[in-house]
Structure formats: C-alpha cells, structure tokens
Amino acid sequence: MTTETFEFQVEARQLLQLMIHSVYSNKDVFLRELVSNASDALDKLRLEKLRDDSLDADVSDLHIEIDVDKNARTLTVRDNGIGMSYDEVGQLIGTIANSGTARFLKELREAQDGAGAEGLIGQFGVGFYSGFMVADEVTLVTRRAGESQGTRWTSRGESTYTLEKVDAPQGTSVTLHLKPADPENQLHDYTSPWTIREIVKRYSDFITWPIRMVPEKGDGEDAPEPETLNSMKALWARSRDEVSDDEYHELYKHISHDWREPLETIRLQAEGTFEYQALLFVPSHAPHDLFTRDFKRGVQLYVKRVFIMDDCEALLPPYLRFVKGVVDAQDLSLNVSREILQQDRHIRMMQRRLTKKVLSTVKEIKTKDADRYATFWREFGTVLKEGLVTDSENRDAILAVASFATTHAEDEPTTLAQYVERMKDGQEDIYYITGESRQSIENSPHMEAFRDKGIEVLLLTDAVDEVWVDAVGEYEGKKLRSVAKGEIDLDGEKDEKAGGEREKQAEEYAGLLGWMREQLDEDIKEVRLSARLTVSPACVVSDAHDLTPALENMYRAMGQ
C-alpha cells in the first residue's frame, strides 16, 4: 500500500505547535479528550445501527480500551465505534473546521497568561491534538463501520501527516508514543496503570460506556480479566447528594468541549406522565460564535440513557442557546427525529419548563451573588435580551434579571425597577438612548438637556436593544422612550408663551432651515428647531418608528 504525505492546514499547524510547547499546564486531560472522542464514536455507532439495521457493524460489545506498554512507552486508546473513512480522517484530523479559528489564534497570541490561553484552547475543541502534549508521535488506525478498508494516520506533530490504507478492525485506535519519562514526576507517568486509573476516575467516570484497562501480559499464563475503570453512572439520574461538583463539572466539559468550569449547574427531575431528567449548565464564558448563524444550539437528548442527538434545538428557545447539558426523556421513541421533536406537545411543555427553570436560576444567582450575576450578565445579557422580543410569556422574568448601563453610575448597571425608584417627581417615562458605545452616546447632543436637568438615561449599546425597547414598550406603566426619537418635551411645557416663542423663532430661522433642507435633501426628511439642545448647534434625530441598520444584524443572528 502507498503512503501519502499531506501538509496540515495552517491553523492546524499553529494549534499543534501550541500543544507541543504546551500552554496547558495540566497535561492529564489529553486522556479525557481521547476517551471523550471514543465515547462519541460509540454513541454515533449505536445510533446509526438503530436507524439502519442493515449496517454491517458489530454492536454487541461496545467499549473503550486503554492499553499501555511500558517498554515501548506507548499508550493506546481504542474503541469499536463508528470509525472514520479515509477521506474523513483527512478532513477531521488534518484540518480545523471551525471558522472562528483564525480569530481564536489571534486572541490566543494576545492572551499573555497561560490560564487565558488554556480557556481559549478549550473553546475550540482541539481535543485530538492534545495528545501531542505528551507524545512525540501519534498514530491513529481506524475503519468506518460498514466499510472494508481501514486507514492509518500518523504524525509527529510537525508540518505533515501521512495517510495509508491498511487492514483494521472496526472503530478507532489512537496510539501515543510518549515523550521521554520525567523522573521528577512519577505522578504523570502515563505508562503506569495506577496513573491511568486515577485520571479516568477523575475525568471520565460518568462515561456511559465501559472503559477497560488491558491487563499487562503475564508470562504465558491465562490472561487476567480486564478491569473496568469507570462507574458508568449517568449523573443526571443520581441524586444531588451522591454527586460531587467536580463530577458535574467533568460532564460539562465532556459535552461542551469547554475546559473551564461552568458558572452554574441546574438540575431538574420531572415526574408524572412525561418523565425526564435534565442537567443543564450555564458556561462561565460566552463562546465566540454565539452570534453566528451556524452556532450549534441546544442540549444533548437522551432517551432512557441512550444518546440520541447533540444540539437538540427543540429543548430550549434560541435566546438560551448558550445553555449546555443533557435531557434524558423516558417516553420518547429512540427513532425520534428533529422534525418530530419540533412538533411534539410534550417537548414543547418540556421547553417551557426548562426555560422557566433557567430563568429562575438566573434570578436566584442575581439575588444571592452579585459578582456571579455580573459575570452572567456580561457574558449572556445580550443574547438573553433577544427573549424580550421573542418570548412574551417570559418577558417579565427576563426583565427581572436584566440590567443596563445608565448615566446614574459609571460602572454599575441598573435594573428597570431601580431606575423607576429613582425617577424624579413628575417624570413619567423611562428614558434611554441607543448607539454603538457608551462613550459615543453619552456625549451625544441628544443627552444635553437630560444632563442639565439631571434626568437618568439608560445607555443601550447592543443591537438587540433597539428592538426590545419597541417590543416591550413600557415597564410598570412607564413608557420606554428614546431621547433621540420624535419630539421630547422635558418640561411638559404646553403653555402659550413657549409655543408662541417657538413659532417666532421658526420664522426667524426659516431661511436657514430651508437652506439646510436643500443641502441635505438626499439624507434627511426634515429640519426643525429643537428644544432638546443646550450646547450643540444641531443633532440628527430619527422618527419615532424608524429602525436602524444594527437591527438587520440582530435579526440575522436570531436566524430570522
């Protein structure tokens, strides 16, 4: 058979370099990544076989095997799952499919400290490459279930890898040729069964497939039984006091491909006619692609402990797309499809309940822990606000946890409730201004009169703000009013004298206004005298109902 040599994609090469010169201090996690991939491959095979019984694959003893060879200094993680075809190996292992990678690498270079870099790496699922933290050569042998030809991929993590067609058993085995031992550091001797057992226990105990350690070969005697290292217990089915926070966090890392701890863990056990368990996580950081069209939203769906699908979007509304986790339903068909889920009455009820649970948890965080709430809102406030537009049922619950920058305080955002409490005597409306950045809108001419009179204005800088203020309209009977739209009459002065004065001025300036209108004809509708300015000579206002270009972006982000 011929061996072909290929170049890694540029981004892939950069990531490999990072792995080799390991920015990540805890190298043990390479094993978690390989086990995680093996587990995914077993899930996929079981599912494919379920959907297509004629698939020529053996699913009788699906498992993961770890095999260490002290003398050769190799460690192999093997699964008999879905495997990969020759082309798939090239695509999946030789490149990085994520479009955000270039931006990621840039940020990574900018992240000075190791901790920042660790977090960034986690977000981009460089799982397989993490093997190069501990190995100087990696070989992967795989055969896709149902195909007859296997493939061997091998690389030293430099600029190239090779592919070769070989005979291989169904599934995938990844063999790491370990870097020379560090005599100073016995704890991280990956040829030691003790070390492996510890790492699997710590990071992969909940994996629902058996992870077996291949026993060391005796001298011609009967081979000892392989040892299963993990308990395989589904964490969502166990009671809260049986499971440690660490265990929850490891599950989070497995399903989210994030290497950091989650901000919050949410459990829900629904009993009754439609029984299900949910274990949801709020990440501590928003992923980079949260506002892109192809962001994979939704949580994992299991049916009676069997993995059914990733990114099940029917379970949570789009504005909670950052939530990760698992939902395990008892009474769904294993063959359930996305289309069926979208229409299923039970699923809709489940979505409502999960949504309320997430929102009430956020409220709890807000009441109990100001710092954690601040983190939450910084990371996810923008996306949550989409719910103000799209989910009228939960509008109040979202408003209750929403906070906004305000002229009242430099760095402390306010809730609408707090704003209302501070409203001046006679002030009837809640004022806001929208724009690109706090700085640009704070210095906007529209603000002059408000500043003069000491009236608080909310400073809204997200694209979505333009929409929800219109959709929501009012809060506790107080209208939400833009300081930049329509006529604003701060003194409520309707008296003759002021009106007469204005008219007189208008006459006086008619010539100037007419000239301006002519000059700006292409760009404006009207020029008028204004009472809203105190220092600036002129400002641009829009009609009360005009929309802005920022909106278009938001609708796109919301997939509408």
Catalog residues that contact ligand ADP under the rule CB under 6 A. Answer: 33, 37-38, 41, 79, 81-84, 92-93, 125-128, 172, 257
Residue 93 vs 362, nearer CB to Mg ion: 93
Could you tell which of Mg ion, ligand ADP, none binds residue 81, using a CB distance below 5 to 8 A set by kind?
Answer: ligand ADP
Question: In whole angstroms, how close is the CB of 130 to ligand ADP at the nearest point?
Answer: 8
Question: Which of ligand ADP, Mg ion, none does residue 79 bind to, with CB < 5 to 8 Å depending on kind?
Answer: ligand ADP
Q: Which is nearer to Mg ion, 251 or 388 (CB)?
A: 251
For every residue of 304-327, DSSP letters joined together read TTEEEEEEEGGGS-GGGTT-EEEE
The DSSP string of 126-151 is: -TGGGGGGTEEEEEEEEE-TT-S-EE
- The DSSP letter of residue 80 is -
Least distance in angstroms from the C-beta of 37 to Mg ion? 4
Q: How far is it, in rounded angstroms, from Cα 30 to Cα 387? A: 38
| Shortest separation between residue 465's beta carbon and ligand ADP, angstroms | 34
Q: Which does 138 bind (CB under 5 to 8 A by kind): Mg ion, ligand ADP, none?
A: none
86 is written with which tokens?
Answer: 């020759």
Radius of gyration of the chain (CA): 30
Binder of residue 287, out of ligand ADP, Mg ion, none (CB less than 5 to 8 A by kind): none
- Cβ proximity to ligand ADP: between 83 and 157 the closer is 83
By DSSP bridging, strand 74-79 and strand 474-475 are unpaired
28 binds, among ligand ADP, Mg ion, none (CB under 5 to 8 A by kind): none
- Among Mg ion, ligand ADP, none, the one that 35 touches (CB under a kind-dependent 5 to 8 A) is none
- Nearer to Mg ion among residue 83 and residue 127 (C-beta): 127
Contact 432, 423 (CB under 8 A): no
CA 54 to chain CA mean position, Å: 36
Nearer to ligand ADP, 79 or 465 (CB): 79
Q: What's the closest the beta carbon of residue 211 comes to ligand ADP, in angstroms? A: 13
Residue 278 contacts residue 268 (beta carbons within 8 Å): yes
Task: Measure Cα distances from 540 to 273, 298, 486, 525 in Å.
Answer: 59, 42, 11, 10
Positions touching Mg ion (CB under 5 A) are: 36-37, 127
Give me the residue whose beta carbon is nearest to ligand ADP.
Answer: 127
Q: Which is nearer to ligand ADP, 210 or 486 (CB)?
A: 210
Q: From the list Mg ion, ligand ADP, none, pick the one residue 45 interacts with, judged by a Cβ distance below 5 to 8 Å according to partner type.
A: none
66, 250 contact by CB (below 8 A): no
Q: How far apart are CA 414 and CA 437, in angstroms?
A: 17
Identify which of residues 39 and 382 has a Cβ nearer to Mg ion in the complex.
Answer: 39
Minimum gap (Å) between residue 105 Cβ and Mg ion: 19
Cβ 34 to Mg ion shortest distance, Å: 8
Could you tell me if 245 and 270 are in contact, meaning their C-beta atoms sit under 8 angstroms apart?
no
- State the Cα–Cα distance between residues 38 and 117, nearest whole angstrom: 26
- Which CB, 83 or 445, lies closer to ligand ADP? 83
Least separation in angstroms between residue 79's CB and Mg ion is 12
**Shortest distance in whole angstroms from residue 263 CB to Mg ion:** 22
Least distance in angstroms from the C-beta of 168 to ligand ADP: 12
CA neighbor of 127 nearest in space, from 84, 163, 96: 96
Tokens for 322, please give them.
Answer: 């950052």
Residue 268 to residues 174, 255, 415, 452, Cα–Cα distance (Å):
37, 18, 28, 51
Q: Whose Cβ is closer to ligand ADP: residue 170's or residue 414's?
A: 170
Task: Tell me how crowded residue 221 is: count the other CB atoms within 10 A of its CB.
Answer: 7
Among ligand ADP, Mg ion, none, residue 277 binds (CB under 5-8 Å by kind): none
Which lies closer to ligand ADP via its Cβ, residue 16 or residue 447?
16
Per DSSP, the three-state class of 414 is: strand
Amino acid letter, residue 70: K
End-to-end CA distance of the chain: 51
CB 297, min distance to ligand ADP, A = 16
What is the nearest approach in angstroms of ligand ADP to the Cβ of residue 97?
A: 8
Q: Residues with Cβ < 8 Å from 166, sequence gap 6 or more?
A: 1, 141, 150, 151, 152
Nearest residue to Mg ion by CB is: 127
Spatial contact of 152 and 143, defined as CB atoms under 8 Å apart: no
* Residue 92 interacting partner from Mg ion, ligand ADP, none (CB closer than 5 to 8 Å by kind): ligand ADP
**Residue 73 or 288 with smaller CB distance to Mg ion:** 288
Answer whether 120's CB lies under 8 Å from 107's CB. Answer: yes
CB of 3 to Mg ion, least distance (A): 26
Q: What is the DSSP string of 366-432?
A: HHH-HHHHHHHHHHHHHHHHHHHHH-GGGHHHHHHH--EEETTEEEEEE-HHHHHHHPPTT--SEEE
Measured from the CB atom, the residue of 135 and 460 that comes closer to Mg ion is 135
Element (H, E) at 155: strand 150-155
Shortest separation between residue 98's beta carbon and Mg ion, angstroms: 12
Residue 84 binds: one of Mg ion, ligand ADP, none (C-beta under 5 to 8 A by kind): ligand ADP
166 binds, among ligand ADP, Mg ion, none (CB under 5 to 8 A by kind): none
CA distance 99 to 124: 10
Q: Please state, in angstroms and rounded to a whole number, the distance separating the CA atoms of residues 374 and 66.
A: 43
82 binds, among Mg ion, ligand ADP, none (CB under 5 to 8 A by kind): ligand ADP
Nearer to ligand ADP, 93 or 105 (CB): 93
Please choose, from the candidates 60, 255, 303, 12, the residue with its C-alpha nearest in 3D space to the C-alpha of residue 171: 60
Torsional sign, CA 245, 248, 254, 260: negative
